[in-house]
Amino acid sequence: MKLMFASDIHGSLPATERVLELFAQHGADWLILLGDLLNHGPRNALPAGYQPAQVAERLNRYSDKIIAVRGNCDSEVDQMLLTFPIEAPWQQVLLQKRRLFLTHGHLYHPS
């Protein structure tokens, strides 16, 4: 099984299209999205090509191949646009007898 990981798209349509292009090019089975998919966040400038509704529409085409977790800029409103769940703060994936812990990063503290 081949996994592709991406995060922090922040509503950028060009970034989303690049992620999906690489997903197809590499023949990945699952697209693991580690949060911050649609909202740019109040501390951040608008990213190039900021089009969150179009980003949601593009990602929804792959909803049966996406595992996602919530990032610090994701909200319940974002979930209304997406057809795959993004509200879990973490997920687990079993890959070749190894357990992968998936989170956005703002929740994980190694100490």
Reply yes or no on whether the pLDDT at 58 is more than 90: yes
Residues 76-100: tens digit of each pLDDT: 999 999 999 999 999 998 888 889 8
Task: Give the residues across from 67 on adjacent strands.
Answer: 32
State the pTM of this model: 0.89
Residue 95 confidence (pLDDT): 85
Reply yes or no on whether the pLDDT at 109 is more than 70: no
- Residue 44: CATH number of its domain: 3.60.21.10
Q: Evaluate whether residue 20 is within a structural domain.
A: yes
Written as one letter, the residue type at 14 is P
- Token readout for 40 is 């740019």
User: What's the average model confidence in pLDDT over 107-111?
Assistant: 66
Reply yes or no on whether the pLDDT at 108 is more than 70: no
- The percent of residues above 70 in pLDDT, for the chain, comes to 95
Q: How many domains does the chain have?
A: 1
Q: Evaluate whether residue 111 is within a structural domain.
A: no
**Between the CA of residue 1 and those of 33, 47, 66, 108, what are the distances in Å?**
16, 32, 14, 26
Q: Residue 12: which domain range?
A: 3-103
